[in-house]
Amino acid sequence: MLRYYSLLKKLTLREIKARYKQSFLGFFWIILNPLFQMIIMSFIFSKIMKMTGIGVPYPIYLYAGLLPWLFFANSIASAMGALTNNSSLIKKIYFPREILILSTLLAKVFDFSLAIIIFVLLMIFFKIPFTFYMLFFLPIFLLQFIFTYGLSLLLSALNLFYRDIQYLFDLIMTLWFYVTPVIYSTEFFPAEYRYIFKINPMSVFINAYRQVLFNGTYPNWESLGIGFFISMGLYLIAYKVFKKLEGMFADVV
């Protein structure tokens, strides 16, 4: 992998640079897009739907779920095209193909980091106290990254064989969004359905982020443990499948 470090670096920079060169607003879009989504949703859900009693102001609560969700959704969306868009490379030159997926995801991590700046400003604005527990943000994000990477490996490879898997998955993502506590908190869900949040890794991560950021406590280890096993399991299986299919990529692309 070390041998391909500079390739990974260059491909990641290609992703980032190419996108920002296309528009004058460049870097601002990355910050503005989730911010506007948050403002619109905040208005609807706090003023109209009256989502209250969650401990912190709704906009920041929402943002803490929306940013990780958008990272997840955007990563999957671009990873799905990562192999098909690079078909001419895949047909001609060998390098480990997961680098194509990893570089798209790293570019999304860059976007995510930019968006976090606004989040921190909002934290200050809403006078949320900064605590030591917030450091747990990083390991939780690492887990989320592994989960996202695993799923991306699997889906990008399958999408190479049947090109409409990405459209199919768009539908799944819409459903997935609503069974993940992004716009609401888990307590709003009827108790008999709450098991969904235990087995949905995205829900595990978002709950954990909110715990360490707003409650000033450790994350729920039991729930995070389930998230850990699902993420690692998925990653290991996905990597195996991806490597198994890799030798066929050039034949089908």
Partner 1 sequence: MGEIEFSNVDKYFYLQHQKTIKELVAAIFHQKKTLERVHALKNVSFKIKKGESVGIIGKNGAGKSTLLKLMAGVSSPTSGSIKINGRISPLIELGAGFHPELNGKENIFLNGVILGMEEKFLIDKFQEIVDFSEIDMKFIYTPVKYYSSGMYMRLAFAVAVFTQPDILLVDEILAVGDTAFQAKCIKKMEEFKKQAVTTIFVSHSLETVKQFCNRVIYLKEGKVEFDGEVNEGINLYIKS
DSSP string, the chain: -GGGHHHHHHHHHHHHHHHHHH-SSTHHHHHHHHHHHHHHHHIIIIIIS----SSS-HHHHHHHHHHHHHHHHHHHHHHHHHTGGGHHHHHH--S-THHHHHHHHHHHHHHHHHHHHHHHHHHHHTTPPP-GGGGGHHHHHHHHHHHHHHHHHHHHHHHHHSTTHHHHHHHHHHHHHHTSSSSS-GGGS-GGGTHHHHH-HHHHHHHHHHIIIII-S---HHHHHHHHHHHHHHHHHHHHHHHHHHHHHHHH-
Residue 251 in the binding site for partner 1 (CB under 8 A): yes
Site for partner 1 in 78-107 (CB under 8 A): 88-95
Q: Which stretch binds partner 1 (CB under 8 A): 18-26, 66-74, 149-157, 192-200?
A: 18-26
Residue 248 in the binding site for partner 1 (CB under 8 A): yes
Which of 21/127 has CB closer to partner 1?
21
Which of 38/158 has CB closer to partner 1?
158
Residue 14 in the binding site for partner 1 (CB under 8 A): yes
* Among the listed residues 18, 196, 199, 236, the single contact to partner 1 using CB under 8 A: 18
Please name the amino acid found at residue 224.
Answer: L
Which of 14/240 has CB closer to partner 1?
14
Which of 17/47 has CB closer to partner 1?
17
* Among the listed residues 21, 52, 129, 222, the single contact to partner 1 using CB under 8 A: 21
Which of 21/50 has CB closer to partner 1?
21
Residue 23 in the binding site for partner 1 (CB under 8 A): no
Residue 118 in the binding site for partner 1 (CB under 8 A): no
Question: What whole-number distance in Å separates Cα of residue 59 and Cα of residue 122?
Answer: 9
- 78: tokens are 């671009």
Residue 190 in the binding site for partner 1 (CB under 8 A): no
Residues 134-163 as x/- pattern, contact with partner 1 by CB under 8 A = ---------------------------xxx
Residue 164 in the binding site for partner 1 (CB under 8 A): yes
- 224: tokens are 């995070």
Question: What whole-number distance in Å separates Cα of residue 212 and Cα of residue 219?
Answer: 6
Residues that bind partner 1 (CB under 8 A): 6-7, 10-11, 14, 17-18, 21-22, 88-95, 161-165, 168, 247-252
